[in-house]
Amino acid sequence: MEQPTPEEFARRIGDLGLAERRQVDHAMGELGGTEITLDSVIKQMQRRGLVTTLQTEKILRGDRVGYFYGDYKVLYLIGAGTFARVYRASKGDEVFAIKVLRKRFRDEPKEMEQFLREGSMGLKLRHPNIVSIHEVVADPRNPFLVMEFVEGQTLRELVRLRGKLPPKLALRLIHEVASGLAHAASMGISHRDLKLSNVLISSDGKAKLVDFGLAALSDRKNPEEIADCPNARAIDYAALERGTGVRKDDPRSDVFFAGNMLYHMLAGEPALTETRDRLARLNVSRFQEIKPISQFVPGIPGVVTQLLGKMMEFNPQKRIQSSAALQAEVRKAIDILEKGPGKASADGSTPSVGEHYDDDDVPTDEGEGYVVMLVESKAALQNAIRERLKSRGYRVLITQDPNRALSRFEPGDDPPADCVIFSAAELGTLALEAYNKFASDEHTSEIPSILLVDRRQARIISEARRGPRRQLLALPLKVRELRAGLIKVLTGTQRRPAGTY
């Protein structure tokens, strides 16, 4: 379609009801008497908040509909799947998520029924760990659900970004998921589509279940009904239920797939191999040949391994029997971890920096865009620091050799890390010399660095170079102390763009 003139673009904003005409006219007037281009008008309107990128694209395409759903003004596309799209939308000063059934399904009775029943189910569920549905609009030409808008990201995005999550953080999130499941189960509703992408993590770190679409299809009036596969999303549940000889909608199925989510958070990949191959997904061996979590997470606490075993037990009689029971079991595991950390192993290899889980409970983005290099010879301490920092968004590089660390920073090249942590607990003078050289060499003197030193290493403490971008931290230290030190020395350091580190 032929692109509109600058004046036509501005006029359409008012005609479509996206902004008041006086606001549009005022924005145009600010451009002055210079030659006005379409690009300059678009930038001005977006800068003034009169149109969003999505609205701009629709105007340029000549779209006449899709700017509003009822009284809700569409702002951005925030998610799209095979079945529906989800938009951020506003009504007055409030923000909502609008879930819209794709056009190709609106003439399909089963899909339309599923969509509307998802909405009616959601209207009943009010819980802090379930995304609320406020309104269901059943217009056959344009059906949509009005939902709570959650500022944040999906749990799948969090795991993809951070890799493996620390055990206590993973347990806290799965406890919140179990809490939402238990509330739904108390009203006779199961989820039947549990996966990381169906859990949202709010900006304050709370897990919230979304998409009870398949729960709406469950039929408890017919307990003898055999599990079926009405669509691709139901295959995994149906395969498990057929393979274990239970009927459709067994409440223990949600427990099993919650276990798959916990495994995914801890290992960085799911216990069940992800595939689009229908026959492969129906193969019952998928549920029986799961690799031990210890292969991916060496040193994982035994209580976590035991919990996973009970959640993903193939025999449903031996599995945790309900979402409420799961909630209680996870709480018990969290309590054991809270009492247990800090006790060294028989050989004393557990590092004190790994003793403190309290400030790693809520995921944040404080380390996003920063690369940290750790120079440490003890594997246990390497793992403890790496996992704690990764859970805060940092990328962590590890080396045991201080001189090798220095050689990575070549004059004239982009530095491989934004901060280097030298640990003198075992490396002693080698770490001190490398730390001081890093602080004095011209090409690294402005790069932040931290020296971890035992309080008994008096000579190292006295000889270590000081400076605004240098920090000495005494061992043993709490995670929050290391984080505070990093934040201090990294002040003023520009974060790296996503995808470049």
Binding positions: 99
Binding-site annotation, residues for ATP: 99
**Tokens 């000579």, residue located:** 459
* Cβ neighbours around 204 below 10 Å, total: 9
What are the structure tokens assigned to 469, written together? Answer: 């971008």
CA distance 186 to 182: 6
Provide long-range contacts, Cβ within 8 A and 24+ apart, for 484-489: 485/450, 486/367, 486/370, 486/372, 486/389, 486/394, 486/419, 486/450, 487/366, 489/419, 489/448, 489/449, 489/450
- How far from 174 is each of 30, 256, 438, CA to CA, in Å? 52, 12, 43
Instruction: Tell me whether strands 371-375 and 419-423 are parallel, antiparallel or unpaired.
Output: parallel
| 99, 103, 293, 425, 498 from 307: Cα distances, Å | 35, 43, 11, 35, 35
3-state helix, strand, coil split of the chain in percent (to 5) is 45, 15, 40
Cβ contact 396:389 at 8 Å: yes
Burial per residue of 376-401, b for 16 or more beta-carbon CB atoms within 10 angstroms, e otherwise: bbeebbbbbbbbbbbbbbbbbeebbe
State the distance between the two ends of the chain, measured CA to CA, in whole angstroms: 40
Coil, strand or helix at 308: helix
Exposed/middle/buried for residue 337 (C-beta within 10 Å: 0-12, 13-18, 19+) = middle
Please give the Cα distance from 256 to 313 (Å, whole number). Answer: 7
- State how far the Cα of 283 lies from the Cα of 261, in Å rounded to an integer: 20
